[in-house]
Amino acid sequence: MLKKMLFFIIFFVLFVSVNTYAIGNGLIIKEKKVENPKGESLIYYLGMREENSLSNTLFIGIQGSQRDSNKRFDFWSDFAPENADLLLLEKYAFYNKKLYNKTNCRQRRIKDIEFVVKYVLNNIYNNNLKNIVLFGGSEGGVISPEIASNLEEITHMVVIGAGGYSQARELDILLKQEINSEEERLLEKIGIRNKEDLQNKFDEIRNNPSPDKFWFGCTYKKWNSYLDYSPEEYITDLDIPLLFIIGKKDKMVPYQSVEYLAKKLRDKVNFRFEILPGLNHSFTDKDGNNKMNYIIEQIIFPWYRENGI
């Protein structure tokens, strides 16, 4: 009787500790956890095309700046190459606002992502993958070049809605565009009317990178970790196939941040840069038509095929 009870308890714990999701395109996704060296629990999701059958291609989706869950399975699977497995990661403590604000910063995100990816590659795939696609959107695209630079296993990288400049430089460009435009002024709504206002805010953040002070929806701690950080140095060192996509009407990240890279790295034949006229940060045009499906079908998937996926 005792053995049966122990078996039931163990089975129950295992059963409830792993959630399984099935989505429309046939992926079976399992929620898993792994502890980092500090004993902190990190959540990730691994999607396979068939139960207990691993692909030789892995797609890794790195989300933007939001604090919500990355259980965006259908969204990410649309970007993944056909027959690829899917790996998504949750930000540490995204469900606990106070702890999240205390710990969230660029250094933490990169360290956690690299730890989970290495764990999955070593312990689940036994380093037996042909293609590993790192796909970063917005903030995820800012940190993806450093991750790809640190993890030699990454074979391809796609970045959407991000460029090569630091956030300080990007905000300076956006402010100049707003001043010279009659369109809605987003920075003015948060107290930034001129370059002096912007510089004062930068100085305030640099001098007091507090997790308890906020600007533009994020803590000073997080802003400080990105403000002077430029992914350009990591991008220029990469030799893997790389695709950048940005909208020319993006009001969160200026297209010049990608245009600059395209000019500087025009001789790198494995790099491709797409600046799409009339599209904003969510790749929607002025009439409210989202063009993401077009981008996937006409740019991303052909690029996969051209680069051996």
SS3 assignment, position 79: helix
- Is the pLDDT at 170 greater than 70? The verdict is yes
The mean pLDDT of the chain is 93
CA distance 124 to 223: 35
Q: Average pLDDT for residues 115-124, to the nearest whole number?
A: 98
- Alpha-carbon distance values, 49 to 25, 30, 55, 57, 227 (Å): 9, 12, 8, 11, 40
Say what percent of the chain tops pLDDT 70: 94
How is the chain split into domains, by residue range? 18-165+231-306, 166-229
Task: State the residue for tokens 């898993």.
Answer: 32
Q: Which of 18-32, 160-174, 203-217 has the lowest mean pLDDT?
A: 18-32
pLDDT category at 26 given cuts 50, 70, 90 is: confident
Q: How many residues does the chain have?
A: 309
Residue-level pLDDT at 23? 79
The alpha helices in the chain, defined as continuous H runs, are: 2-17, 73-79, 97-103, 106-123, 139-150, 167-179, 186-189, 195-207, 220-227, 232-237, 256-264, 292-295, 301-306
Whether the pLDDT of residue 12 is over 90: the answer is no
Domain 18-165+231-306 in CATH 3.40.930.10? The answer is no
pLDDT, residue 85, reads: 97
Looking at residue 11, what is its pLDDT? Answer: 37
Looking at the predicted structure, is the pLDDT value of residue 2 above 80? no
Tell me the C-alpha distance between 127 and 111, whole Å: 20
What confidence score (pLDDT) does residue 198 get? 97
**pLDDT digits over 231-260, tens only?**
999 999 999 999 999 999 999 999 999 999
5 has pLDDT over 50 = no
pLDDT at 281 over 60: yes
Question: Is the model's pLDDT at 196 over the cut of 80?
Answer: yes
Q: How far apart are CA 108 and CA 222, in angstroms?
A: 10
Q: How far apart are CA 212 and CA 200, in angstroms?
A: 18
Q: Given this model, what pLDDT does residue 166 score?
A: 98
Q: What is the pLDDT of residues 262-271, one digit of tens each?
A: 999 999 999 9
The confidence score (pLDDT) of residue 14 equals: 37
At 244, list the tokens: 């950048």
Rounded Cα distance, 108 and 111, in Å: 5
Could you give the strand order of the β-sheet that contains 41-48, starting from the edge strand earlier in sequence? 20-22, 28-35, 41-48, 85-89, 57-62, 131-137, 156-160, 242-247, 271-276
Supply the pLDDT for residue 18: 64
How far apart CA 212 and CA 210 sit, in angstroms, is 5
Q: Is the pLDDT of residue 25 over 60?
A: yes
Burial of 222 (0-12, 13-18, 19+ CB in 10 A): buried
Long-range contacts of 118-121 (CB under 8 A, 24+ apart): 118/151, 119/34, 120/44, 120/46, 120/58, 120/87, 121/58, 121/153
Task: Provide the pLDDT for residue 221.
Answer: 98
The pLDDT confidence band at residue 217, using thresholds 50, 70 and 90, is very high
Are 26 and 47 a contacting pair, CB within 8 Å?
no
Among 71-85, 122-136, 177-191, which stretch is predicted with the lowest mean pLDDT?
Answer: 177-191
pLDDT at 13 over 70: no
